[in-house]
Homo-oligomer: A and B are copies of this chain.
Amino acid sequence: SSSSMYPQNKRLRFIDLPYLPTPQRNLMVDLVSKMETSLGSQLLPSSLPLDVQYFENESGSSQGALDIRSGTQDSTVDFILGSWIHSKLPSGALNITTLTAYLNNTTDAPRFLIEFIQSSPTSLILILDLPPRKDLILYPDYLTTFYNDTQLDRFRQQLVKLPEIQPYFSSSLYTRSVFSTTAVSIVIDCGTGGPDRMDEIILDDVSPAAKEMLDIWLDKCVCGGRDMEEQERVDLKKRDVLVNKKTLEIDLVAGLPRLFGPDVANRVIEAIQKYSLA
């Protein structure tokens, strides 16, 4: 198995992504590398403690890695967060891989998010989105600028044409509310096509969509501050922190202790909170 490439004495990092099938790993590495190249000196080096950069439970059946890089003072980037979790469950291996880019309140432009949730070799949940940071009902111009003018819905439209792909509805209504109305939120189920067909879909269909969406984000969202009144910046900050807090509760506080035990889970959650609730 691919894990044999990473002996115990090599400390795993986020970017190693040791348990992902090659096309998924390559996509994630490409996205991170594109961000790093484009943002360049705007990104500070990671300063996470080693025991949060990589962590596991006592038995070693659950492993995880985290990378957080803050933006510099003059950047619109707040921080970039990458993480993976691998857990050997009785039902099979669970892999959750996430890459999210958060902007600070010098701009109200959307975030970038990609997430793989895989609990079987032939079935994968994929979220790919530029989650909005404003109430789209109150700010129709925001919807026009970032979603209509960029034709962002075409990625979702193209992907759901594949017979293996169905829309995915998160069980958390709050999580659903976080995504834009153009979010790629899908289940890829290859059935008898098997892992080979999954690799093909990731390579031929998902990767181009994810890369193009990242290009749009880098081009239209990160590129500079946006005119806002002081009160708008305060409200934006409040909304960002609330989303982060709720998302952390739903995604991690609810599940991480079960996989890693309370001590490891708390350590990881507290490390993320330092960035996401600051």
Contacts and interface: CB of A to CB of B under 8 A. Distances in A.
Interface of A: 135-138, 140, 143, 147-148, 153, 156, 167, 169, 173-174, 176-178, 181-182, 239, 242-243, 246
Contact of A140 (B135, B140, B246): B246
B135 A138 contact: yes
Contacts of A138: 135, 239, 242
Nearest to A135: B135
Contact of A143 (B136, B143, B173): B173
16 contacts: A135-B138, A136-B173, A137-B174, A137-B178, A137-B239, A137-B242, A138-B239, A138-B242, A140-B174, A143-B173, A147-B173, A153-B169, A153-B173, A167-B167, A173-B181, A177-B181
Contacts of A135: 135, 137-138
Contacts of A243: 137
Contacts of A174: 136-137, 140, 143
Nearest to A245: B140
Nearest to A240: B137
A178 B140 CA distance: 11
Contacts of A182: 173
Contacts of A181: 173, 176-177
A51 B148 CA distance: 37
Given A137-B239, A143-B177, 4 more contacts: A135-B137, A137-B178, A148-B173, A153-B169
